Amino acid sequence: MKSIVLLSSGLDSTVAFKEAYDISDEILCVTFDYGQKARKKEISFAKKICERYNAGHIVIELPWYRTFRGALTGGSALPKISGHELDNKEITKKSAEMVWVPARNVVFLSIGAALAENFKYDTIVTGFDIEEAATFPDNTIEFVERFNEMLKFGTLNKTSVYAPLIFLNKSDIVKRGLEIGAPLEWSWSCYDGSEKPCGTCESCLRRKRAFEISGTKDPLLERLKHKA
């Protein structure tokens, strides 16, 4: 298997990367700079991961996304929720709408498909999971299946999307990451790009809950603590 991995350095994509790394003959990681607030952290952490595993890595800039309004790329404040609200569908739906980037996964996967076809890779690996699929329709198994159907017509080499975590929630992903030795200490989940995770955005809260459920300290926070 020759894999193009969409690596944002988030919890999900970092574990998906390690899953792909363990079974791939060749691997190329792609990180996108689309003007997101955490882009510098995401890019530097992804670079660290790729250096550790001697994996190819490229950064693709999508500057036109920076003109879009939204909490991730625009001047809007990031939504803040509390831990007990993570299972409140009304609140998390509103939070998802605020950080939604138009057609982002369609664009990312399409670029991945173009790279795969050009460089003769057969698989595009992404970190979609069932927990985020509850509020993001472009993280669902239906989305992956339909995108793969489209790729049969849109590419000559019939590359396909592989989402190894598609049926797992965040705590399952943490457990799986620990099992396979994923570099979780270099995974960045926070929507913000400050020196340390904010701890209050939805992504930070989901990560915190996942590690609490797994009964494990967050390797990233432990690394930052010792660094300080």
Q: What is the pLDDT of residues 126-161, one digit of tens each?
A: 999 999 999 999 999 999 999 999 999 999 998 999
What pLDDT does residue 88 have? 86
What pLDDT does residue 83 have? 83
Concatenated DSSP letters of 55-120 = -EEEEEE-GGGGGS-STTTSSSPPPB--GGGTT-HHHHHHHHHHH--TTHHHHHHHHHHHHHHHHT
Here the CATH number for the domain that contains residue 187 is 3.40.50.620
Q: Over 70: is that where the pLDDT of 228 sits?
A: no
- Please write the tens of the pLDDT for every residue from 152-193: 999 999 899 999 999 999 999 999 999 999 999 999 999 999
Tell me which range, 62-66, 96-100, 108-112, is most confidently predicted by mean pLDDT.
Answer: 108-112
pTM greater than 0.75 (yes/no): yes
Average pLDDT over residues 101-126: 98
Average pLDDT over residues 11-31: 99
Residue 182 token pair: 């994923």
Q: Are 227 and 135 in contact (CB under 8 A)?
A: no
Average pLDDT over residues 5-9: 99
Q: How does residue 96 score in pLDDT terms, banded at 50, 70 and 90?
A: confident
What pLDDT does residue 75 have? 72
What pLDDT does residue 121 have? 98
What pLDDT does residue 84 have? 79
32: which DSSP letter?
E
Q: Over 70: is that where the pLDDT of 7 sits?
A: yes
What pLDDT does residue 111 have? 99
Q: How does residue 63 score in pLDDT terms, banded at 50, 70 and 90?
A: very high
Task: Give the number of domains in the chain.
Answer: 1
Bridge partner residues of 124 (DSSP): 4, 161
What pLDDT does residue 207 have? 98
Report the alpha-carbon distance of residue 187 to residue 123 in Å, rounded: 22
Residue 187 token pair: 């995974």
Percent of the chain with pLDDT over 70: 100
Q: 157 to each of 121, 131, 215, how far by Cα in Å? A: 9, 31, 43
Report the alpha-carbon distance of residue 150 to residue 45 in Å, rounded: 32
Q: Over 60: is that where the pLDDT of 73 sits?
A: yes
User: In terms of residue numbers, what domain contains 197?
Assistant: 2-227
Q: 24 to each of 16, 131, 183, 209, 210, how far by Cα in Å? A: 12, 26, 17, 31, 27
- Mean of the per-residue pLDDT values of the chain: 95
Pairing of strands 2-6, 123-125: parallel
